[in-house]
């Protein structure tokens, strides 16, 4: 997650230092297949995350029939619930710790801006 991002409602605003943007948690949301356009091996690629979340919770992940699980950043949960009324967000116990990553585009822009100002 980008550490200088703007929090757009319904996402809660955060006070500086109140949330570790470097160590977010990945939450899981179940959505009906007809609500999404899924390509490639999405379910195969997300299986390790689903398995880790079930291990962390100590119980099986109950996936409704004709639904697909989408990993989401924990701060996006209010936005997901607001925009996708049919979404089922699993409890926090079904989450996986992650490490944040800077956007490559931002880093390139920052490098270019720094290079121009020093030239």
pLDDT in tens, 45-98: 999 999 999 999 999 999 999 999 999 999 889 989 999 999 999 999 999 998
pLDDT band at 30 (very low <50, low <70, confident <90, very high): very high
* CA 117 to each of CA 79, 105, 110, 113: distance values in angstroms, whole numbers, following the listed order: 38, 18, 11, 6
pTM: predicted TM-score of the whole model, two decimal places: 0.76
Give the whole-number percent of the chain exceeding pLDDT 90. Answer: 53
Give backbone dihedrals phi and psi of 35, rounded to 5 degrees, phi first: -85, -10
């Amino acid at each position: 997650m980008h550490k200088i991002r703007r929090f757009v409602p319904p996402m809660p605003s955060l006070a500086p230092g109140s949330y570790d943007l470097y160590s977010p948690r990945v939450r899981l949301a179940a959505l009906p297949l007809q609500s999404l356009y899924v390509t490639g091996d999405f379910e195969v690629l997300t299986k390790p995350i689903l398995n880790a979340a079930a291990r962390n919770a100590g119980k099986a992940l109950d996936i409704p029939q004709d639904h697909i699980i989408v990993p989401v950043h924990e701060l996006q949960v209010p936005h997901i619930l607001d925009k996708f009324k049919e979404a089922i967000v699993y409890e926090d116990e079904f989450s996986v710790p992650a490490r944040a990553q800077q956007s490559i585009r931002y880093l390139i822009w920052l490098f270019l801006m720094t290079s121009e100002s020093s030239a």
